[in-house]
Chains A and B, each alone.
Chain A
């Protein structure tokens, strides 16, 4: 079946502009995660959605970052007033079960470059 998809695959933006990154999880998966992968920081958790519950935003690095998940499916990660340190690969993952024990399925990522 279809895996997690993300768009765009690459995004180049100028410093100070806003960007939106999209994630389509696997159909039926209730849990959705955003992570960031960068050379200096490795793989970092950003935000987690589970069903209709309030998201866990504890990993967002600043208030320039926000995310929403519409209808329990598609999610959009928005970065406002981008900075060069925001350059990274943004990975989305989904899981069919919100417990701690279930593996997550990752999308191919969006490579963001801020010039």
Chain B
């Protein structure tokens, strides 16, 4: 069985500071990892993905994520947070034999002005 863990329910950061939202995973075989963001009363919006290749993946709105195979992690990062980044962030995983996404529990990011 595959699983995703997001250990922080909420992350608070000041505007202009760097942010990190943590994600670890468990899967047999190669992981395919995704980050999605959800704004209030909206569906999920794709941010970025890791499939293969460079461990540092760049995505939308200045976000990036680092894949670390030895630590089975895929943390989301941004060098300088904006108030408008405040939202709910989900890490997700698909893997061989399962096309549907397995989601983490979500992390609420709050960026204070």
- Listed in ascending order, the chain A residues whose CB lies under 8 Å from chain B are 4, 31, 33, 35, 42-43, 45, 48, 50, 56, 59, 91, 93, 98-101, 103-109
B100 cross-chain contacts in A, Cβ below 8 A: 33, 35, 45, 48, 56, 59
Q: How many residues of B contact A (CB 8 A)?
A: 24
Closest to B105 in A: A42
Interface string of B15-58 (1 = CB under 8 A from A): 00000000000000000101010000111111001010000000
- Listed in ascending order, the chain B residues whose CB lies under 8 Å from chain A are 32, 34, 36, 41-46, 49, 51, 90, 94-96, 98-106
- Could you say which of A31, A59, A103 contacts B46, with CB atoms under 8 Å apart? A103
Q: Please classify the interface of chain A as helix (H, G, I), strand (E, B), loop, or mixed, using the class held by over half of its residues.
A: strand
Complex A-B, nearest 8 residue pairs according to Cβ-Cβ distance, in ascending order = A106-B43, A43-B103, A45-B100, A106-B44, A103-B46, A100-B94, A108-B43, A101-B51
Check if A104 sits within 8 Å of B103, measured CB to CB.
Answer: no
- Could you say which of B44, B96, B105, B106 contacts A91, with CB atoms under 8 Å apart? B44
16 cross-chain CB contacts under 8 A: A33-B101, A35-B100, A42-B104, A45-B101, A45-B102, A59-B100, A93-B44, A100-B94, A100-B95, A100-B98, A100-B99, A103-B46, A103-B49, A105-B46, A106-B43, A106-B45
